[in-house]
């Protein structure tokens, strides 16, 4: 059952009571329903906190022009209100930037990190392209780039055979306020800079996952993220693209649960 926190965050808290907590953090333009196919696996042994980021889904707008710390503090306030002292943070894409920022800001409150299909240091040309796409969002809203985005996110077979799910995801993205979406997209574009070679380094046990054909959060980026976190593990899932966690959720839940079960 969904609830709303004092800072306007809509969330659900489900799963096994009095168990270690997992927090699920979705990506840009999406909602907490991104994790719908993952929940039953996580809920068997863990308490699961699933929420909408500021400006997404049913949550309130950001209290300021957003930056990574805005979203890190959103989660801290939510955990404080729910009396969650520490948790494992599983973040997808922008969510995998937010959980790294949180681990830098509040290291004692993180038991483990799952960093999924999340961007990292880009070359100059790629950085320019990401910023141009963010500017297109500012000019035309989420719809300006949605069709090209879906092609980057999913395999051709999924695009052909899963029309209802694609429409649902498209509806999530298109429902975003234009101005807020553009601001959040700039966080995705520019926020990686503050995550590169953090000092002090992140020491939280970490699992970094990407997909073989993810063009925006590449396997090389995942390897680079892991190289900056002591003893981090890397999994690269063959053939899939950016939204592999929706296309083949079990290929994510299985390694994540194996990783968490060994540490929590």
Kindly report the CATH number assigned to the domain that includes residue 219: 3.40.50.1820
- Residue 210 covered by a domain: yes
Measure the CA–CA gap between 141 and 60, rounded to whole angstroms: 19
Range of the domain at 110: 3-123+192-261
- Residue 129 covered by a domain: no
Structure tokens at 153: 């996110």
Chain-centroid distance, C-alpha 160: 25
Q: What is the pLDDT along the chain (264 residues), one digit of tens a residue?
A: 899 999 999 999 999 999 999 999 999 999 999 999 999 999 999 999 999 999 999 999 999 999 999 999 999 999 999 999 999 999 999 999 999 999 999 999 999 999 999 999 988 887 788 777 777 656 667 777 788 899 999 999 999 999 999 999 999 999 999 899 989 999 999 899 899 999 999 999 999 999 999 998 999 999 999 999 999 999 999 999 999 999 999 999 999 999 999 999
DSSP 96: H
- Residue 51 covered by a domain: yes
Asked if residue 207 lies in contact with residue 255, where contact means CB atoms within 8 angstroms, the answer is yes
Task: Tell me how many domains the chain contains.
Answer: 1
């Amino acid at each position: 059952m969904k609830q709303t926190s004092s800072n306007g965050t809509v969330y659900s808290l489900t799963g096994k009571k009095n168990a270690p907590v997992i927090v699920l953090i979705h990506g840009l333009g999406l909602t907490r329903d991104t994790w719908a196919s993952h929940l039953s696996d996580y809920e068997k042994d863990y308490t699961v906190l699933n929420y909408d980021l500021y400006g997404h889904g049913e949550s309130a707008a950001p209290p300021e022009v957003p930056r990574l710390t805005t979203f890190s503090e959103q989660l801290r306030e939510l955990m404080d209100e729910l009396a969650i002292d520490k948790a494992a943070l599983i973040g997808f894409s922008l969510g995998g930037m937010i959980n790294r920022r949180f681990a830098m800001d509040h290291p004692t409150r993180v038991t483990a990190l799952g960093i999924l299909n999340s961007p990292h240091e880009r070359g100059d040309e790629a950085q320019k392209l990401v910023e141009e796409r963010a500017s297109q969002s500012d000019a035309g809203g989420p719809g300006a780039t949605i069709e090209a985005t879906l092609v980057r996110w999913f395999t051709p077979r999924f695009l052909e055979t899963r029309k209802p799910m694609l429409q649902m995801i498209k509806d999530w993205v298109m429902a975003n306020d234009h101005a807020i979406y553009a601001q959040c997209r700039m966080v995705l574009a520019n926020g990686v800079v503050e995550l590169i070679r953090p000092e002090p380094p992140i020491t939280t046990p970490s699992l970094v996952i990407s997909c073989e054909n993810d063009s925006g959060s590449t396997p090389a980026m995942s390897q680079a993220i892991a190289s900056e976190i002591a003893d981090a593990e890397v999994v690269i899932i063959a053939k899939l693209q950016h939204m592999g966690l929706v296309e083949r959720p079990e290929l994510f839940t299985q390694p994540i649960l194996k990783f968490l079960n060994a540490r929590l």
